[in-house]
A and B are shown apart, each in its own frame.
Chain A
């Protein structure tokens, strides 16, 4: 420890030496680039082990058929991907689910498009859920942001109330809507069932009703997230623009149309992409409100099959990753344009 032979020349910072001091000195003498990459090592290790490795391994596993408990994995190439879209793998998927719809029919009787087949398809359910929930979240979030943009007494309490749904655990969000529509407790089925919005009996086992409930639950929880992002955009708008518009005699609607909306559009785009990426992962909400056999989403299918047919489950997981990856590219492009 107390060796006095300090040979390292001009950088005589301390008289002690030892492994710790040696490491510190080595780090201090690193160049900026070397130091940067050294400090990023934990990030690389963690993301490499928990994200990059699994992603590549999922791709590899999806090329093999691997039925748990039956023999050795066997190389099948892209067969799983093909079978997902031809329906050949349907027996592995839970319930009556198929990956692509088989029997969407059009007819002249109400409601014109019969969606039973569509609602058994994991791909279709995920996309419908994403489109509908993000659409309404954007509109409601915009409304909430416009309210929060005003000055009024109690504004911060209103903001808390609007954020709270965003902050609650998914399982509790699911529980709330489960209890609202459960046949023994729910008060909502009676009303909505009478109007024909949800099935009057066995609501949580009816694909259409369950998808609707899950979508509403998601809108309830995540509109606040949209509202906060849009609010940040609204507050970054230069207020003097409105003064100019008022002097020029613009009505409130014109101010909104000509100033607010164009200036908020980039923020809105980013927010929508974020929500789209997030909505396409939906799993927990479905699992706790209804079940994966009733409302099959992509993530649901992965969880439901990975205990029996690991190769097929990997293929579904990879398809999910690709679809989300396309939306991610949108975000990356946006960030790249802004110059990170």
Chain B
């Protein structure tokens, strides 16, 4: 309040007279519920706007860079604080595929993400059925063990996996007994799909466990009476009935693989599309080989971001429910 340190001797009534307009307004807000509501409303919109601007501004910045011709980017005359494209050069979005075969990188990303998603959904469905619908000794500890594995850093798995994928003999740790010589997997989809599947499997297992557990026993029994096997009941009755759960797990796995950096950048030894290098490789190629083509870097980023943005807009309910179910398990 504006009235600062009124001397003790003054009567209280003087206080209001000595207040400025801000203090009077504050007083009004405190005493009047309608004005208070209005203030809350205004504050709410300001905060919402702030969050919108901070989350979306970086994408606007990419668009500005992509549309500005590269010579003008280098000139660096940004006309701050109202950042806007200097010129209009949509050809960057064509050039981005000509300078390097960027579409091949995106294609590789799609292939890797799809393959991983299929593997994860099949394996996680089996596990989800077991954890969600069967009771057996060791269920709790096994779930905890699977949970634990998913948290370890990829860096802790990298070195032995890299050795194995470059064709070195696998030996039993600490015993030194050679097992077999694996095929050379680096530069093939296998070297990425295998680690991705293992890393992203646990989340899908937890999502599907929650969903499969909710299907009433009666439906499964009915299918069994009709003569299907237990596995048949899983794939013909339980999975279709849990379609939202399966979609959630699939969308989250797809996004996770599409976004992965660690193994994607290491297991393809060069950043060449022929070596199954995904999106990461394409963008790093621009960053290292065409390090002054800033408009193309921005255009490539926009192209790379579009598939996930579409996926998020279409599947936002699934993503939200999946993330919270996977992490909190209600």
Contacts and interface: CB of A to CB of B under 8 A. Distances in A.
B134 A35 contact: yes
B261 A156 contact: no
Contacts of B197: 46, 50
Given A161-B56, A169-B279, A317-B158, A143 B301 contact: no
A187 B78 contact: yes
A298 B155 CA distance: 9
Contacts of A284: 261-262, 265, 280
B246 interface: no
B147 interface: yes
Interface of B is mostly: helix
B130 interface: yes
Contacts of B127: 39-40, 42-43
Contacts of B126: 39-40, 42-43
Nearest to A162: B55
Interface stretch (B6-14, B214-222, B223-231): B223-231
Given A161-B55, A280-B153, A40 B142 contact: yes
Contacts of A231: 320, 324
A250 to B, nearest CB: 14
Contact of B261 (A28, A36, A171, A310): A171
Given A33-B137, A163-B319, A185 B76 contact: yes
Interface stretch (B17-25, B92-100, B236-244, B305-313): B305-313
Contacts of A306: 158-159, 162
Contact of A317 (B149, B159, B163, B330): B159
B301 A176 contact: yes
B323 A228 contact: yes
A265 B267 CA distance: 41
Contacts of B312: 160, 163-164, 167
Contacts of B283: 171-172, 175, 288
Contacts of B261: 169-171, 283-285, 287-288
Chain B CB within 10 Å, residue with most, of A165, A172, A316, A324: A172
Interface residues of A, number: 105
A290 to B, nearest CB: 12
A143 B48 CA distance: 9
Contacts of B268: none
Contacts, number: 296
A50 B320 contact: no
A50 B142 contact: no
Contacts of A162: 51-52, 55
Given A59-B173, A320-B153, A320-B155, A175 B231 contact: no
Contact of A178 (B51, B140, B287): B287
A168 B153 contact: no
A116 to B, nearest CB: 25
A40 B130 contact: yes
Interface stretch (A1-9, A85-93, A97-105, A266-274): A266-274
A313 interface: yes
Interface in A287-328: 287-288, 298-299, 302-303, 306, 310, 313-314, 316-318, 320-321, 324-325, 327-328
Chain B CB within 10 Å, residue with most, of A43, A274, A335: A43
A48 B161 CA distance: 12
B328 interface: yes
A61 to B, nearest CB: 6
A283 B263 CA distance: 11
A187 B80 contact: yes
B3 interface: no
Q: Which of B40, B143, B154 has the most CB of A within 10 A?
A: B154
A281 B308 contact: no
A338 B329 CA distance: 10
B159 A54 contact: yes
B201 A288 contact: no
A232 interface: yes
Given A168-B305, A220-B54, 11 more contacts: A24-B229, A40-B127, A50-B197, A162-B55, A164-B56, A164-B312, A168-B259, A176-B58, A179-B297, A299-B155, A321-B156
30 contacts: A27-B230, A35-B134, A35-B230, A40-B126, A42-B123, A46-B123, A46-B194, A51-B152, A54-B157, A58-B159, A61-B159, A161-B55, A164-B56, A167-B309, A168-B308, A171-B284, A176-B301, A178-B287, A179-B65, A185-B76, A220-B58, A231-B320, A271-B327, A283-B262, A288-B261, A303-B266, A321-B153, A324-B151, A324-B156, A332-B148
Interface of B: 40, 44, 47-48, 51-52, 54-56, 58-59, 61-62, 65, 73-74, 76, 78, 80, 83, 122-123, 126-127, 129-130, 134-137, 139-140, 142-144, 146-149, 151-163, 170, 173-174, 194-195, 197-199, 201, 205, 227, 229-231, 255, 258-262, 265-266, 279-280, 283-284, 287, 292, 294, 297-298, 301, 304-305, 308-309, 311-313, 316, 319-320, 323-324, 327-330
Interface of A: 13, 24, 27-28, 32-33, 35-37, 39-40, 42-43, 46-47, 49-61, 143-144, 147, 150, 152, 156, 158-165, 167-172, 175-180, 182, 184-185, 187, 190-191, 220, 224-225, 228-229, 231-233, 236, 252, 267, 270-271, 274, 277, 280-281, 283-285, 287-288, 298-299, 302-303, 306, 310, 313-314, 316-318, 320-321, 324-325, 327-328, 331-332, 335-336, 338, 340
